[in-house]
Structure 1
């Protein structure tokens, strides 16, 4: 019974910005009158409520429409708790010094007072309020809770669908008002063109052959032109030019894509599929008082025993450490090889490990190391940047861990292919936050605050161990 109270308790915001639960008596009465709570499981109730709210065949009678409104009211209460949780997770991506609290995000998404029944019109666009005398009035301001429920796909045929809980988190994260607000605090929201410029291998595999070809040609032309122009390279990614689009069209040689605007629209469509807010390491370090360090893969509501959950988590934890330790050495060696091939910086390749040891093991600053080896400070910061090293190790570790998790859940038949893009978005963010908590957050904070003489964090200890063995 305690779990079922979530269907009639609606989270709202006080004037001071804090949240509280308000009991919606109309929702409680209707739910208890409609369901034998000793016979119905929460999962069955949830699915039934969704089926009623989204069943367009019930739109011919007023009584049916009122039933839809009441089922929607229960669902609005149900997801309001997850909206609050999502806001907490969003805010936890910032350190306490940045001044972003989850209470500041709540007013953007907790706009539902629970006083009226809401349904969606037959065109599936407009929210309609059902009045006491049975009339339907268009809502001037759409409720976020109703938007979430209406956009959720509840098909039993869709084996890779997100749960309503995970869908609520995703929609809250993508809420435009929240995205715009967090952008003021440095939260990175990349353009479509930047997103398409760095599609990961596992994301590429979810696209059609033609879409993969488009992405590969786009990256070939777009990256080349950005590399050739240092000013462009330092600026925000802009839409491809007509000349670039035409070159891509010539390389693609696809009959249906012959005009620049056609290709541009196709690129936008693919980007929309892949869209996710990219969490920049500079501004997304987890607060020490944020979420727990355990990672739970979003399973799409596939029933799974607690014992198997623990086995999966332990395996993921082992994979994280393996990926991290492997990539420490791989990224260091790749950086040295790049320096060796560079005309400008090849002389410094042999000093790379020495500089890192001086920075991490002896606590020297980059400026002091630069003087010691006889190089300008700005050049030393560019060549030997500990921050860039950490970001690259983090990126490779997250990518490898995601691939390991996808392989694991396929082997255990927890999900079928192809993977839904929303699922990949949620999984990626979950893994990023988990890896930051376990390894990267503390190390990055030390770099940015110049407290690099503390060896207690795992990243620094592992790096020093590798450098000592390979110097």
Structure 2
């Protein structure tokens, strides 16, 4: 009876945006008369209910009630999609299902029919109406079709983009990204080196050669399923699934043939996902979305303390208080170590450039300021520092090498601090075990900061929000009067 009730209980929102469930008594009576033998049977699926209701929708005498029953089901499915989106993205991106409901639970025709005795007068086309008008029970289930249209809803996607959520899979992003687009995005927004860009392009070409070939074959075999009438807002395409193990191996073989570099299937998967995430951040930006933000106070930054907790802290109240104290000291030291590492890396680069060319050291400081603090493009920086081309700026900054230098200095500083402070909490036997784990734990934390800086390079031109890495650079450059 619970599953059947989805066809006579209607989910909507009230004037304040709160979810409410209305039982439509006439729909309940209608269904119980129509399906008196099937009601309550657990093995009766939605497909049977929907096919019969769809046939009744085409008959004048039963059209009204069949329409109400299908709209009730659609309202339940829309709610489930919102719940799924909240579960998947809500906590990280700051929204709940209640924030999503007003965009898609916009169908009031069921309640109006009840109030007006079946005379529906409305020119507004709700999402549920769009779903019903484009649905074909011979090609899809109503649940699947509803899910698809909800996730393509324009206003819902606009809201999600503002919170940094782009509802397109990595594989769809890679599938429709052209080589020239990748070159431009990685050059102008990610500021990767020419070597890194060429490697990414070769990997993308290899992906396209395998993935698009197999996708074309699949679409040809299912061409009949792709000719359904779609709403204008919904592109005519099938879902992009993750590459199979066989496809990953074939991509690796093509990549090796072009570069002589050997990659495992797992490495191909990781590099493709990393590439897609850079492209995702770019697409979120150009669509007016919000880039991701991180803070040292977020739960991720407890991972370091958690990773060594077993070697130092126990579960008593006193030991938990010690853990909290240690974590606070660690946060302070983490930021101080980053500050010192940034200053050290800048000083090392200046010293090296001064030995080569005194003018180059001043150009480096100015370029670093323009890139990180003023979010200028490489082309803009070139003209401002007196260079002829953006590749010369890339060679001058050597951002990947600079970040690596900061990372190594920071790792050394933090490791010494952790081992020194840990002596106050751990006994000598524990310290030996702890020392073996500190490098791994710190490496993960520092890598996260560096990766955030790399990701920010894709969106630095678009947002005033700066990573901690960039803040430290700008603070130090300000001290140096740059």
More helix by share: 2
**For the pair shown, which has the larger CA radius of gyration, 1 or 2?**
2
Q: With the length of structure 1 as denominator, give the TM-score of the two structures.
A: 0.40
User: Structure 2-normalised TM-score?
Assistant: 0.40
